[in-house]
Amino acid sequence: MKVRARLAAARDVGLVGLVLVLAAACTGQGGGGSQSAGGGEDTGPAVDVRISPKDGTSEVAPNLPVTVEAADGTITDVRIEQTGGTADQSAQGAGQSASPTAGDGAPDHEITGTLSEDESTWVSDWNLAPGSTVTVTATAENSDGEQAEAVSEFSTEPAAEGNRLELQSNFPTSGQTVGVGMPVIVNFDLPVENKAQVENSMEVTSEHTVDGAWNWFGDQTAVFRPKEYWQPYQHVTVDLRLAGVQASEGVYGVENHQLNFEVGREQISTIEDSEHTMTVERDGESLKTFPISNGRADVRKYTTTSGIHLTMEKYEHLVMDSSTTGIPVDSPEGYKLDVEYAVRFSNSGEFTHAAPWNGRLGESNESHGCTNMSNADAKWFYEQSLMGDPLVITGTDRQLEVDNGWGYWQRPWEEWLANSPTGEPDTTDGNGTPGSVHAEEA
């Protein structure tokens, strides 16, 4: 992980305006955002505090880092205030719903930073808000304890209309309780080219620390998955620090979001196709075994997919229409059925659902690809299912594709990690992400 030690940079105006008591030897601010401590031979080595971007700079790229350096001294405090632009918008929304999907409060535009081992250099961890005025106040001290302060005020480049990366949707949403297989799915409104920088702007933190990684499906969907299923009964937070991240040339994120959800009990269901049964286990104990009927498999499209599926959504009542899969309702193979207690587990039309017309449950496969169940069993499974519960099917010759619904567990961990633009595990311990969120040239 990139973090060794941090100094928080506060956006609170009161903190930024705090009066610092300097040693008598400390003199006025030097040019270019620097200041030296000590003026004579007996005052000890000078502390030359330098801040980048320099004081007075305008339209700084939001994804350039703030850097503080103290020559012959150690940095004791760095504070950042951002006003105007999206910084104020985020501050006003703090603690409230950041978006219809993201949920309960953005992480504001507070900027933390990482200190070097000798404490002479501080670099910001996150990007700056586009279109804002930024004031950086830094203090350092020399070996005699004499302090110096430097201030740099500059502005960041605004994000132009039409070039603002925004969150379109996410799964799960804040407040939800999900199954142990649930990934974090983030859909953006614009294509992302700088995928590593955007990945590193999205930090997943869980009570039980695990290794995970992001994969991309197209240029607008990022998916985080742990190496193994989540441990049950824990809280997970996702900080989407998108403000200032450069998605592509001239396109910047404008708003931060935070997502909070719970991982519930561990419920894993398994179907062995040739046995025509489904077994449901919860927290390691077998709960129920149901007779079922899968796809009749006379053609590929009527073959139930094998692999690790996740329950995606559920409907108490659902109309199943063959025309949605390219089969006209009035054709010999067409159908339009009203079904009850439907639980989706792929995007290729596969559900578990009640099928009172199927008299071969537990005996043979008769469906168009769905998992048929009795009314009572389908109702029980519907009521007991959470989004993200694993449903493992074996025994058919049609494998679930990784991008068919939420088939993300179909990709082995080594391959999943290799497909992450960062190429490194993202550990969910709250200590930062694998790489930099800043411009590559920085």
- As annotated, the active-site residues are 353, 370
For residues 73 and 147, what is the distance between their CA atoms, to the nearest angstrom? 9
For residues 7 and 5, what is the distance between their CA atoms, to the nearest angstrom? 7
Could you give the count of Cα atoms lying within 13 Å of 27 in the half-sphere of its Cβ? 13
Residue reference for tokens 């592509």: 248
**Hey, how many other C-beta atoms are within 10 angstroms of the C-beta on 202?**
22
- Residue 395 sits at the vertex; the CA angle it makes with 393 and 401, to the nearest 5 degrees, is 55
For residues 7 and 68, what is the distance between their CA atoms, to the nearest angstrom? 11
The C-alpha torsion from 100 through 104 and 108 to 110, rounded to 10°, is -140
For residue 299, what are its two tokens?
Answer: 């053609």
Rg (CA), the chain: 27
Closest by CA to 301, choosing from 333, 337, 338, 336, is 333
CA 314 from chain center: how many Å?
Answer: 24
282 sits in which H/E element? strand 277-282
H runs (alpha helix) in 62-194 = 85-93
Strand-by-strand arrangement of the 177-178 sheet: 177-178, 257-263, 234-240, 202-206
For residues 382 and 374, what is the distance between their CA atoms, to the nearest angstrom? 12
SS3 222: strand
Q: Is the dihedral of CA 199, 197, 186, 134 positive or negative?
A: positive
For residue 44, what are its two tokens?
Answer: 């000890």
Distance separating the N- and C-terminal Cα atoms of the chain = 19
**Hey, how many other C-beta atoms are within 10 angstroms of the C-beta on 222?**
25
Inter-CA distances, 310 with 78, 229, 323, Å: 45, 11, 24
For residues 36 and 45, what is the distance between their CA atoms, to the nearest angstrom? 9
Residue pair 114/3 in contact by the 8 Å Cβ criterion: yes
199 sits in which H/E element? helix 195-200
